Amino acid sequence: MKTLLIKTHEAWLETLMAAFMARNGENKRVLTEFSDILWRHFTWIEHDLIRRGIDYDYNRDNIPVKVERLSTILADIVRRMNDLELLLVRCEDAALKDRIRTDLEYMRYALGKLEDEEVHAFDMKMRYREIELDEEATGALSLFLFEESYKEYELIMIYNYLQAHSDDAFLNRIFQILIDESFFHLRSFGEMMAEMGILGVPRVIHESLYKVSDIEKFLLDGIEEEIAAKEQCRELSDAVASKSDELAKFFDFINYQENYHIELMREAVEHYRKKRADG
């Protein structure tokens, strides 16, 4: 089951990357929906491991996604799904096994029906749509996207791990909001990277980041990181403002969203402190 978790993680992430690189609207829709389904599979398998008292981590292999045609990565995703079906023999939960198996059966069929297209997500165009940015602004935008796409992937995995190991409904509500928000940011940044020809898979997260022993310190550190991210968004908005009102407003939009994340994390800290004080 631990291997099934790892391989589902890899299939989810590769499908998500394929959704970022797809330009055909139907291809993007299907791949995004299927990545969401694979993510749910991942969380269900994780829950089964926790229920059975089996220790696990989020380690995974590197995922090569640099392709010239979408059909190439689709074929690899189908191969991964075939491997997942073989691994399902280790799943003792009959209902979960049947759900995953039938999902995989349909998804493989539907992926085979998608229209092939040329992939431009790795051509190093270094240009977002038709917006003309100078070298400094382009460099700032590229660096921001690389750093923040990894950060959002990292936060998805960390908050998911914390939520999976918590029975506190108040905290889990906050964790779920932060997971959902990080998914939106990751998709936004990933699609921008693909448009600029610089798409990359986030690096593997070390288990020390999500196997958190001091929740309060983690949340307080997270607040400081969000404050720093706000400043990065503000600086980036300023850097592109003279060239693109669209980009400037987008990064202001992301900046303002961080305000609510910070407030949620402060609520979580206060809740955690009160809970600890009450014994």
Provide the 3-class DSSP secondary structure of residue 69. Answer: strand
From the CB of residue 152, how many other CB atoms can be counted at a distance below 10 Å? 22
Of the three residues 67, 88, 119, the one that is the final residue of a domain is: 119
pLDDT given for residue 197 in this prediction: 96
Element (H, E) at 224: helix 215-241
Q: Are residues 96 and 230 in the same domain?
A: no
Provide the 3-class DSSP secondary structure of residue 118. Answer: strand
pLDDT category of residue 272 using cuts at 50, 70 and 90: confident
Tens digits of residue pLDDT in 219-260: 999 899 888 888 888 888 887 877 788 888 888 898 888 899
List, in order, residues 6 or more apart from 202 with CB less than 8 Å away: 13, 149, 150, 153, 154
The total domain count for the chain is 2
CATH of the domain at 66: 1.20.1260.10
Of the three residues 96, 119, 142, the one that is the final residue of a domain is: 119
Tens digits of residue pLDDT in 10-64: 999 999 999 999 999 999 999 999 999 999 999 999 999 999 999 999 999 999 9
**Mean of pLDDT values over 158-166:** 95
| pTM, 2 dp | 0.94
pLDDT given for residue 275 in this prediction: 81
Q: Are residues 270 and 222 in the same domain?
A: yes
Under 8 Å between Cβ of 174 and 229 = no
Tens digits of residue pLDDT in 67-120: 999 999 999 999 999 999 999 998 889 999 999 999 999 999 999 999 999 999
From the CB of residue 51, how many other CB atoms can be counted at a distance below 10 Å? 9
pLDDT given for residue 96 in this prediction: 95
pLDDT given for residue 251 in this prediction: 84
Q: Are residues 127 and 258 in the same domain?
A: yes
The residue segments making up the domain with residue 59 are 1-119
pLDDT given for residue 125 in this prediction: 92
- In whole angstroms, how far apart are CA 180 and each of 175, 186, 229? 9, 10, 17
